[in-house]
Amino acid sequence: MRGELETYRNKRRFAETPEPKGAKGRAKGAARRYLIQRHAATRLHYDFRIEQDGVLKSWAVTKAPSRDPSVKRLAVEVEDHPLEYGGFEGTIPGGNYGAGTVQMWDAGTWTPQSPETLDADFAKGSVKMWLEGERLKGGWALVRLKSDRGKPSKRNNWLLIKEKDEHAVPGEGDANMEIDASVTTGRSLAEIAEGKTQWTSSRPVSRKAPAKPKPRAAVTAKANTPHAFLPLQMCKAVDYPPGDAGWVHEIKFDGYRLQVSTGGGRATVRTRNGLDWTAKFPELAADAATWPDAVIDGELCALDAEHRPNFSALQAAISDQATGPLVYFAFDLLFEGAEDLRDLPLSHRKARLQAYLDRIARGARKRVRYVDHFGSTGQAVLLSACRMDLEGVISKKLDA
């Protein structure tokens, strides 16, 4: 199977579009790249790309990928793209093929599950792979659909399917999959559209965040015991959320802000002022004791029948010592192991937090949820929160 770029080049006017013309081939011995670019073209879709034969084999996936193995996403095979496209984030001008904004939604590497039969698997239309991305991990399969006559469809329609493994999330596979934030710059689609085209590392093999500042030295010599309390950042109450670029917005949860520290098979739960409340929440502490060593910032809530935070129910649960059903909404990662992350931008810390939570065994993460953020205007997020009868929004700078 040989990758070709003639179709790609014929569709584009390179004097008008910032997309690369493409000439590079794969470096010998280098890991195969994998990426997904969220593409706000005529319709929002997700361009799934894997490096093979010196090009990026590409599929347009109609919806965000699902980590639920029972959910199959339509993936329409499109023309091969050059390897340089794996670092492209920006806006394709109107009037050009694929006009719209492109966001680096995921990046990493892929490994064929059967490398010795890979060419035959592509020809047959059944390719199984292992992904190591920031957002997608584990076993995945691309399966080409057949026509009613049993022959491959002329439209080259495939299905993207999550395989059953420790990274699968049955029943909740769509959770956090429509994240509007670049894994390389942290920008939303709107922020990318307002800004300039940016090029990022075209080979994100190590999963390290690009161009990040050096973290501070750990405040403790031991990474295998819970950290001491870390002072928390507090927000300022304002009438309206900021509308400037570089801000993202989270739902404000009506609960208790708690810092969870884990290490060496132990966990401590502290209030925003540093009081030790571990004994008040034994179920959360027991779960957290099994998590990798870290310091997490979040909000503990009781949810009503419509899954909205209810502060009165939270107080009643604590009073009645019925804290098992409470949910911890995690929104920041301050330490991971002995590494102090507080000098890193929020966009990097949240990417690290999501990857951290994905590593927790399913049984031990039933009481913790990742808090997504929105790159829309703060006013739009606030109006949505009001319509859902939520407490408000928290606005944060991506580089904070």
Residues acting as catalytic residues? 252
Interacting residues of 292 by C-beta distance below 8 A, sequence separation 6+? 262, 336, 337, 356, 359, 360
The token pair at 108 is 């990493």
Q: What is the spatial distance between Cα 39 and Cα 51, in angstroms, rounded to a whole number?
A: 19
Please name which of 248, 238, 241 lies closest in space to residue 376, comparing C-alpha atoms: 248
Contact present, 265 and 288 (Cβ < 8 Å): no
Contact present, 373 and 291 (Cβ < 8 Å): no
Please name which of 138, 159, 121 lies closest in space to residue 34, comparing C-alpha atoms: 138
The token pair at 287 is 């779960």
Q: How many CA atoms lie within 13 A of 178 on its CB side?
A: 9
Q: What is the largest CA-CA distance in the chain?
A: 69
Type of residue at 365: R
Angle at 372 between CA 371 and CA 378, to 5 degrees: 115
What are the phi and psi torsion angles at 398 (to 5°)?
A: -65, -25
Name the 3-class secondary structure at 135. coil
The token pair at 383 is 């109006």
Residue whose token pair is 């590392």: 201
The token pair at 122 is 């592509």
The phi-psi region of residue 290 (left if phi > 0; otherwise alpha if psi is between -120 and 50; otherwise beta) is alpha
Per-residue buried b or exposed e for 216-243, using 16+ beta carbons within 10 Å of the residue's own CB: eeeeeeebebbbebbebeeeeeeeebee
| Residue 400 per-residue DSSP state | -
What are the distances in angstroms from CA 236 to CA 229, 332, 375? 22, 18, 20
The token pair at 235 is 């927000």
Contact present, 314 and 272 (Cβ < 8 Å): no
The pairing of beta strand 327-336 with beta strand 368-370:
parallel
